[in-house]
Amino acid sequence: MGMNATAPRFAPAVLTGESEDNFSKLAADFFIARLETLKSPLVALPTGNTPLGLYRALVTDHGHRRDLWDQMRFLALDEYIGLPQNDPRLFYGWLCREFLDRAGIPDKNRVFFQSDAADPAAEAQRIEEWLRQNGPIDLAVLGLGTNGHIAFNEPGSGFDQPAHVVALTADSITANAGYWGSAESVPKTAMTLGLGNLATARQTLLLVNGAHKAAMLARVLHGPVTVDVPATYLRTIPNVTIITDRAALSAP
């Protein structure tokens, strides 16, 4: 065990979909099953390509569940800093378009970091305080960065951090360049929930698909638990489920 490593305490449950459709359906069924019995559950939501199928399945297969959509509360995991709040490339715009608007989630049940806040550190603190008063998160839905990041907790992020401002790593800027047209256009800083916030979630669902995530998923499941791979914090908390497709499990 290296200097930064801690002992794993829990093993996440892993469910694997045989096809892309099945991956998304598994995720949507898990989401509904874990939340439908709770009163006004708080759900943390990721952006990216990975959860697109989940969001589609929630709207097409479960869109009629007004009883759920009228009371669930949603908190975005992270946001870029410094753009006007109506910029369609922000995570805010992305989540509204892909899910919240389609499911008809009331505005009062959407909580976001404001990209254009004058003082981003104070904005991160506002979300921290909101979570202290309105939390804990009932279900944290997460994607995995190819560098092991969770939300924008980049390699080296402490497992106990609160919501905070981050400088994005070159890896994350490259990985997100596609959404921005070029790497130069990707904002260099962001606000994110910390791993400390996410670690207190009652349930956690990590979604991982594609062969390009296989090597990192293998490290998350079997490598040393270390801040160098932020997603390994998942082996220090209970009630974690990982839903994958076949390709994501294809590491040698």
Active site residue 128: no
Classify burial at 51, counting beta carbons within 10 Å of its beta carbon; exposed 0-12, middle 13-18, buried 19 or more. buried
Least distance to ligand GLP, CB of residue 70, Å: 26
Among 26, 78, 98, 161, binds ligand GLP (CB under 6 A): 78
Per-residue x/- mask for ligand GLP, residues 30 to 59, rule CB under 6 A? Answer: ----------------xxxxx---------
Q: Are 76 and 82 in contact (CB under 8 A)?
A: no
Could you tell me the smallest distance in angstroms from the CB atom of residue 124 to ligand GLP?
15
Give the shortest CB-50-to-ligand GLP separation in angstroms. Answer: 3
**Which of 79, 98, 138, 154 is an active site residue?**
154
Please choose, out of 18-26, 60-68, 120-128, 140-148, the segment that lies near ligand GLP by the rule CB under 6 A. 140-148
Distance from C-alpha of 12 to C-alpha of 154, rounded to nearest angstrom:
21
Neighbours of 84 (CB within 10 A): 8
Q: Is 158 in the site for ligand GLP (CB under 6 A)?
A: no
Residue 7: burial class (beta carbons within 10 Å; 0-12, 13-18, 19+): exposed
Annotated catalytic residue within 79, 98, 149, 176: 149
**Annotated catalytic, 154?**
yes
Is residue 22 part of the annotated active site? The answer reads: no
Work out which of 115, 161, 172, 203 binds ligand GLP, going by CB under 6 A.
172
Residue number, 41 or 46, with CB nearest to ligand GLP: 46
Number of C-beta neighbours around residue 76 at 10 A: 25
Choices 66-74, 80-88, 97-105, 143-151; region in contact with ligand GLP by CB under 6 A: 143-151
The one catalytic residue among 79, 123, 147, 176: 147
Stretch that binds ligand GLP, among 20-28, 35-43, 126-134, 138-146 (CB under 6 A): 138-146
Binding of ligand GLP by 176 (CB under 6 A): yes
Using the rule CB under 6 A, is 69 a contact of ligand GLP? no
Query: What is the closest distance, in whole angstroms, from the C-beta atom of residue 245 to ligand GLP in the complex?
Result: 12
Of 190 and 225, which CB lies nearer to ligand GLP in the complex structure?
A: 190
**Which residues of the chain form contacts with ligand GLP (CB under 6 A)?**
46-50, 77-78, 143-145, 151-152, 172, 176
